[in-house]
Structure 1
Amino acid sequence: MGDQVLDYDVIVTGGGPIGCSAARDIAAQGYQVLILEEHQKIGEPVQCSGLISERALKISRVSNKVVLNKLKGAVVHTPNKNILNLKGDRVYGVVVDRGAFDRDLAAQAAGAGAKICHGKRVVSFDYLTDGLKINTTSGDGSNCSFTCKLLIGADGFNSVAARLLDLPPAQEKVTLFAAEVSLPGFGGHLAHIFLDHLLAPGWFGWLMPVRENFARAGIGRSPLMNRDWRESPRLLFEKLIAKYPIFKGLEVLKTTGGIVPIGYLERTYDTRVLLAGDAAAQVKPISGGGLYLGLKGASFCAATAIEALQKNDFSRAFLRTYQDAWDEDFGLEIRCGLKHREIFLDMDNGEIEFLIGFLNKPYWRKIILKYGDLDYHSRLAAKLSLAPPWANRFLENGLKVLLRGLAQAAECRY
């Protein structure tokens, strides 16, 4: 077994942007890389609003041709249909053709030498003396296996690698319903966000202009909110478009859904295995955006994989360097977002209404437009935490955490 020849140096599960980005960087160093994608086509189905930052587009190395619209602000809609208009004079984000975006990254990976195998779903893997055997199944029922030295799980929130290794899952999984829609008279360069815990429990609704008369819309719900789970995200979406006048005349063209993993994973590695992207919960807790952090995670993942291949060291102890690298770079951003998310989850509609009304003043609008950043929410959150409604909530939340800790300590003592 010690002389066994393995099929590949690295196998990546998931042909999305995160998996293809990591595969590209590793293959570019001359290593044999295989991407296993369960769908027949890269970029389908689309499970994302397609709103990313120019920063994310740049680090992806994807062509600007995928950009469909540039957004220069947002309009926040409250439960009582009041609005906070945040129109700026700079680009805060771009709406991209996600299918084309994904295919561009897949082409980059293939161009670097990675092989892409479509229609292969990973069902299990086995440890060998010198590597791993990855077992797959196809839509036609056929099964096949591949061997490798290292496995990278970039297969989303329900990662097979994470489950098989019994790695801790994300603490929260937000369920989404989204649609591509035609909407006569709608366009421009402002995203619309809808905050209403009755319609979007623990999350929000959105409406993103793609071009004149065409948009992307959606809604999400969190399992942490004590609501009737018989109300599916699709039903909540229908209630959303019925409530707000801006949706008048909307026609749904195509629907999709998805899951957003929210949390901080203490371990995204194991012997011969690394997790990246949604599989590692490398997602912004406030917005659910995962492309920017996922692409950064993929870069750290590839760097660790290359070093492991060079040193022929795939031990858990060595692969921990991946966790340390991404945590040092953006771990604090995730943890900060989680703290602010706790406060948001604890607010009722009346408090949301009051907070948005408080922020609808020239001073606070200026602060939001100045420090708003699609990738680094903590910069704006730090400023908004000085606003009395949010500051009071921070204090209350901190006291709750303190009292909870004291109670747990007392239970342990007695």
Structure 2
Amino acid sequence: MSDYDILIVGAGPAGSTFARHMAKNGYKVGILEKKKEVGLPLQCAGLLGKKIKNLNTLPEEFILNEINGAYLHSPSNHIMKVSKKDTQAYVLDRVAYDKYLAETAAGEGAEILLKHNVKSVNSERGTVKLANQGQKEISARVIVGADGHSSSVSNSFNKSSNTVKASQYLVETSKPLETDFVNLHVNSALSPGFIWSIPISENQARIGLFGNHDYPSLKQILSKFMPSQNYLQDIKILKKYHGEIPVFDSKKALVNKKSLLLGDAASQVKPTTGGGLLIGFACAKIAADVVTKALDNDKTSILKEYEVQYRKEFEKELKTQLMVQKTFELLSDKDLDEMFIKLKEKGAEDIISTYGDMDSQSPLVKELLKRGLIFSVLPKVLYRSVSQIWKFF
């Protein structure tokens, strides 16, 4: 007899949400978390689209700020302003919110075991072996890997995930910030990443970036960037954070025998921004429905339905974003500056404001293609390369 019906590796937001669903359904659920405290250290910008309220509970106490729009900056600081009248995103206290999600799962009956570091996983037998705690072995009818980009569950049946590094500072500003707008800065040196500035209040913001660089290089880029922006003059750095973001991988296997993957462990991230929390919440519900069916019928072969449903729901959108990312990787700083100028001249600010959505970007892409704007603002020398990227769209 197994120790648990479901054993979840990782007490992050996706894992805790899945645990809550399953414990509420009456199953014996265990969560193994290698850290001594859920939610720490902070490894997220904490900006989540408004659709979060359709996918998970979000008490007002965890919302630090509300965002209506964004200033998009080219390398030479040509700016496009995009916005809507109503709230488009929330800035969250992610550490407190992660703790809340774990506590909610525990409140439904899930058992959270802190300082339990998984060494290896046997998907066929449904067992995990711990690296500590006397190298104890724990068994379950289903094992769920929700343990991030370096997932021990994923590594038991996939190659290691590719990642990009990210750094973020919590800063205090001397000048009042425009609290309902984020700032996003693109340049070719960071591609496929970018720099963000997310206001928490009138005098605090999260300034961060991700890209194909090591941490010292990211630190150097941020150190040069902040003094160059008028809205970031005379700042005080309060905290520094570092982490890694998994690269979206459409070929990654999500199910193997008695195991499945969720969230960053499954590379369920947006290629354009690296965000994945809302996808993780949606997939937690999909996984809960499929795992419930598998356990009720005592057939782990049913777990394959999770991967099928995930791909049906998200693959087209994520592949569209991947094409956007690959297009940006072709552009030099000069190309990006010229593209911003042309887009602004052609009324793109209004188009992006109308059709843009931080979580579902394909409607905007379709509209830009329909209006002929994508190819009209790109250098002609890149037409062939870009056409190859978009030929299946």
TM-score (norm 1): 0.87
- Match of 1:185? 175
| Pairwise CA distance, 1:386 | 4.6
Structure-1 residue corresponding to 2:163:
173
Residue type at the aligned position of 1:73: G
1:245 is displaced (CA, Å) by: 2.8
Instruction: Give the conservation status (yes or no) of the 8 Å contact 1:176–1:219.
Output: yes
Q: CA separation of 1:387/1:261 partners in 2, compared to 1, >3 Å: closer, same or farther?
A: farther
- Which residues of structure 1 form unaligned runs of 5+? 224-228, 404-414
Q: What is the CA deviation profile of residues 182-213 of structure 1, one whole-angstrom value per residue up to 9, with x for unaligned ones?
A: 11223221000111123x23210010000110
Match of 1:197 among 178, 184, 188: 188
Q: Which of 237, 250, 267 pairs up with 1:265?
A: 250
CA RMSD of aligned residues (A): 2.1
Q: Indicate if the aligned counterparts of 2:167 and 2:208 stay in contact, CA closer than 8 A.
A: yes
Residue deviations 1:136-193 (CA, integer Å, cap 9, x gap): 234xx7432211111100011111111122x1455x5221001111112232210001
Q: Which amino acid aligns with 1:154?
A: A
Q: Secondary structure at the match of 2:341?
A: helix
* 2:104 equivalent in structure 1: 108
Counterparts of residues 216-235 of structure 1 (less than 5 Å): 216-222=206-212, 232-235=217-220
Mapped partners of 2:153, 2:331: distance in 1: 36
Structure-2 residue corresponding to 1:134: 128
| 2:184 counterpart letter in structure 1 | I
Structure 2 CA distance for partners of 1:17 and 1:396, relative to 1, 3 Å:
same
Structure 2 distance, partners of 1:242, 1:378, is 35
Within 2, Cα distance between the matches of 1:37 and 1:161? 13
Residues 127 and 71 of structure 1, relative CA distance in 2, 3 Å threshold: closer
Distance 1:119 1:255, change over 3 A: same
- 2:192–2:272 CA contact under 8 A, matched in 1: no
AA at the equivalent of 1:134: V
Alignment correspondent of 1:406: none
Q: State the shift of 1:264 in Å.
A: 3.1
Answer yes or no: is 1:56 the counterpart of 2:52: yes
Kept in 2: contact 1:168–1:265 (CA 8 A): no
Q: What secondary structure, in the 3-state scheme, does the structure 2 residue paired with 1:323 have?
A: helix
Assess if the C-alpha contact under 8 Å between 2:122 and 2:156 holds in 1: no
Identity level (%): 26
- 2:137 matched to 1:152? no
Give me the whole-angstrom Cα distance separating, in 2, the residues matched to 1:329 and 1:40. 35
Pick the aligned partner of 2:286 from 300, 313, 316: 300
| Unaligned ranges ≥5, structure 2 | none
Secondary structure of the corresponding residue to residue 332 of structure 1:
helix
Give the SS at the match of 1:232: helix
In the TM superposition, residue 391 of structure 1 has moved relative to its aligned partner by 2.2
CA contact (8 A) 2:327 2:389 kept: no
Distance 2:330 2:99 in 1: 40
Please tell me whether residue 12 in structure 1 is matched to residue 8 in structure 2.
Answer: yes
